[in-house]
Amino acid sequence: MGESKRIPVGIIGASGYGGVQLVKLLLEHPNVEIVYLGGKDSAGKLYSDIYPHLGHRVNFTIEPIDTDVIAARCQAVFLGLPNGLACDLAPPLIAKGVKVLDLSADYRFKDLQTYTRWYNKDRTDGETAVKAVYGLPELYREEIKSASLVGCPGCYPTASLMALSPLLKQGLIVPETAIIDAKSGASGGGRQGKINLLLSEADGSFGAYGVAKHRHTPEIEQVCSELAGHEVRVQFTPHLIPMVRGILATVYATLRDPGLVRDDILTIYSAFYRSSPFVKILPNGTYPQTKWACGTNLCYIGIETDDRTDRVIVLSAIDNLIKGQAGQAVQCLNLMMGWEETLGLPQLCFYP
């Protein structure tokens, strides 16, 4: 494919950590050309003034957000804005024929009442929301291929659902016993001057937050319920790790059949993810390190069973900014455009 065949894409909200990760992935993507960066507060700024280390590769000025301009220039656009803003932009963009990949929570929910309850915002775009596809290719690959609007999953739901889905889909566990103890690096908190994200606060410390009330809970439950075939509630607890990147989800659940052993479940997971090039099932009681995933769009999964307690423990590791955010969005774009799913997505980690 020649240079001329690259499709023009735009990014709205490129100044945060997910945004700059997306810019870097798209700069190396063989089929894409970034033709537009848009922002609200950052409009008018040189992108290389925000990120001086990219000065040798990009020469963008961030532009004001104008859906007509975007539609005139872009075949697809990534929305990386705070929650509650994409729902105003996506309907006109789709109407003008632009493919939209939203990285906020706005289009993750089938049921806007759930969204409204957890995000405190009324919505009037129910018709659009219902057309949106949840952008987790390992579960919704075919739907994404024909979607014009994708609601990209949150970082925690990505790690959690990758670990839980085969168990629920195959009916191996008692759904209501599922507990997700999740841990994330600080980049998940964004590029904003919050005291709790300062190195002096977060380095050398570890703690939980949002216990029993984090907004990623209903997102996880929506998919779990669909897989289980009935409404499922999960326990989800996020923690902040003193590092920049990476999520580990440690998932516990009680097996329906206590006779199942690790090897059985490894086989089931391997089958479940057979067509998913980014999922790596680890053998023989090897457990994933987040570092193995960092810099890649991969999800590493390790599995253990405990015959003393009849539980299965599944551990999944991702890079929260790639598989958990920007990389997964590119994976969705690849599917929407009919390209190879792995195009432009790194598979070799940054280790050490």
Measured from the CB atom, is 89 or 326 closer to a second copy? 326
| Site size with a second copy, rule: CB under 8 A | 87
The side-by-side arrangement of strands in the sheet containing 99-102 is 32-38, 7-12, 76-79, 99-102, 149-151, 133-134
Smallest distance from the beta carbon of 189 to a second copy, in angstroms? 8
155 in active site: yes
- How many C-beta atoms lie closer than 10 Å to residue 211's C-beta? 11
Active site residue: 74, 87, 155, 332, which one? 155
Is the CA virtual torsion 85, 186, 330, 214 positive or negative?
Answer: negative
Using CB under 8 A, pick the residue from 315, 318, 326, 332 that binds a second copy.
315
229 touching a second copy, by CB under 8 A? no
Smallest distance from the beta carbon of 269 to a second copy, in angstroms? 14
Tokens representing 169?
Answer: 């889909």
Q: CB–CB of 316/290 below 8 Å? A: no
195 touching a second copy, by CB under 8 A? yes
Smallest distance from the beta carbon of 307 to a second copy, in angstroms? 8
The DSSP result for 201-261, as a single string, is HHTT--EE-STTT-THHHHHHHHHHHHHTS----EEEEEE-SSSS-EEEEEEEEBSSTT--
Smallest distance from the beta carbon of 164 to a second copy, in angstroms? 15
Contact range with a second copy by CB under 8 A, out of 107-115, 141-149, 151-159, 227-235: 227-235
Smallest distance from the beta carbon of 226 to a second copy, in angstroms? 18
311 touching a second copy, by CB under 8 A? yes
Mark 317-351 as b/e (b = at least 16 C-beta within 10 Å): bbbbbbbbbbbbbbbbbbbbbebebebbbbeebee
Smallest distance from the beta carbon of 297 to a second copy, in angstroms? 12
Q: CB–CB of 149/133 below 8 Å? A: yes
Q: How far from chain centre, in Å, is Cα 314?
A: 19
Measured from the CB atom, is 95 or 350 closer to a second copy? 350
> What is the distance between the alpha carbons of residues 238 and 23, in angstroms, rounded to a whole number?
27
Residue 92: closest CA among 115, 72, 113, 68: 68
29 touching a second copy, by CB under 8 A? no
- How many C-beta atoms lie closer than 10 Å to residue 53's C-beta? 8
Q: CB–CB of 180/260 below 8 Å? A: no
42 touching a second copy, by CB under 8 A? no
Smallest distance from the beta carbon of 22 to a second copy, in angstroms? 12
Measured from the CB atom, is 98 or 317 closer to a second copy? 317
Measured from the CB atom, is 125 or 310 closer to a second copy? 310
β-partners of residue 34 are 9
Residues 329-348 that bind a second copy (CB under 8 A): 347-348
Measured from the CB atom, is 57 or 121 closer to a second copy? 57
Measured from the CB atom, is 107 or 300 closer to a second copy? 300
Binding mask 240-259 for a second copy (x = CB under 8 A): -xxxxxx-x-x-x-------
Using CB under 8 A, pick the residue from 24, 29, 108, 214 that binds a second copy.
24
Binding mask 150-179 for a second copy (x = CB under 8 A): --------------------------x--x
Using CB under 8 A, pick the residue from 40, 169, 233, 256 that binds a second copy.
233
Residue 167: closest CA among 249, 278, 286: 249
300 touching a second copy, by CB under 8 A? yes
Rg from Cα positions in the chain: 20
288 touching a second copy, by CB under 8 A? yes
Q: Which residues are catalytic?
A: 155
